[in-house]
Amino acid sequence: MSENRYGLNKELAQMLKGGVIMDVTTPEQARIAEEAGACAVMALERIPADIRSAGGVSRMSDPKMIRGIQNAVSIPVMAKVRIGHFVEAQILEAIEIDYIDESEVLSPADDVYHIDKTRFKVPFVCGARNLGEALRRIAEGASMIRTKGEPGTGDVVQAVSHMRAMNSEISKLVSVRDDEVYEYAKSLAVPVELAQYVHKNGKLPVVNFAAGGVATPADAALMMQLGAEGVFVGSGIFASGNPSKRAAAIVKAVTNYNNPKILAEVSEDLGEAMVGINKDEIEKLNNIRMAERGQ
């Protein structure tokens, strides 16, 4: 990937800022999401909550299904590949996807290596639980980062903990002396150039969204107040009682995340939120902790 192409890919993520990216499984859901104000959609066959309950191996979606969604909407369309599955990524590039999510929501295809994302022209977003994971993914060519959270749970606690971890590590890196950055980069296992960027600028060199467990307008605003630049909502919308209304409410909550009066208005009468499961229940059920995939 040329430097210019990487720049253009980071810039597309900048255009998504302050927006909500929604998981959709059909062209009809994609249209509902677009009408509700999604700034992009994530095309996948099953939302994370269903992946979680179905178990088994979860893979890239059928390209035909993704193309159906591309044809249904005018906003950017993203899709997921398994961690390390560079051939799934080649297939998505061939159908001109706007963004690839190398995602822990699917079953990992490689338990050591992530995709060398510098070999692709299309942009990649990757999940991270902390600064080390984020900078390693950026070193591999990711042009956008999101928290991992715990997908498909409707429980925001993991996304909060990942965003806080990232912020506190960034503050730490900003505060160290210039000559200590090398050692810090070593301890995080990241390239020193990226550590120096964070040391100097106090932020990641790419856009950083929240993802994994966001289910309500308040959850979305919470992530924004914690420093997220936008929000992914997976199962939270189409596993809820009134998807269209909830989607529109979350979009407004992200725009006015600092305005409790507007947040109160948009939180009214949304019907049932996704029931969700919490992290202790996950351990009892099938013990899949998606966030631990791909470090």
Partner 1 sequence: MVTGILSLQGAFEEHEKVLDELEEPWFEIRNAMDLDREMDGLILPGGESTVQGKLLNDLGMMNTLRERIQSGLPVLGTCAGAILLAEKIYGDSTRHLGTLPAVIRRNAYGRQLGSFSARGDFGEIKDMPMEFIRAPYFEEVYGGTEILSVIGGKTVAVRYGNQIATSFHPELTGDNRVHKYFLESFRLRTPDRVKL
Residue ranges in contact with partner 1 by CB under 8 A: 4, 7-9, 11-12, 14-19, 34-40, 70, 74-77, 93, 96-99, 121-123, 248, 251-252, 254-256, 259, 262
Residue 107 is classified by DSSP as P
Nearest to 75 by CA among 32, 46, 122: 32
Q: Which is nearer to partner 1, 99 or 238 (CB)?
A: 99
How far CA 187 is from CA of 45, 172, 180, 191, 197, in Å, comes to: 39, 13, 11, 11, 16
Our answer to whether residue 80 is catalytic in this structure is yes
Q: How far is the CB of 97 from partner 1 (least distance, A)?
A: 8
Query: Quick one: 28 or 180, whose CB is closer to partner 1?
Result: 28
Candidate list 64, 80, 252, 261, residue with the active-site label:
80
Burial class (CB in 10 A: 0-12, 13-18, 19+), 273: middle
Q: In the complex, what is the shortest distance from the CB of residue 189 to partner 1, in angstroms, rounded to a whole number?
A: 30
What span, in angstroms and rounded, lies between the C-alpha atoms of 72 and 244?
A: 16
If the CB atoms of residues 17 and 164 are measured against partner 1, the closer one turns out to be 17
Rounded to the nearest whole angstrom, what is the least distance from the CB of residue 15 to partner 1 in the complex? 5
Q: Closest distance between partner 1 and the C-beta of residue 30, in Å?
A: 12
In terms of CB distance, is 139 or 262 closer to partner 1? Answer: 262
Cβ–Cβ under 8 Å, residues 264 and 216: no
Strand partners, 144: 125, 207
The residues annotated with a catalytic role in the active site are 80
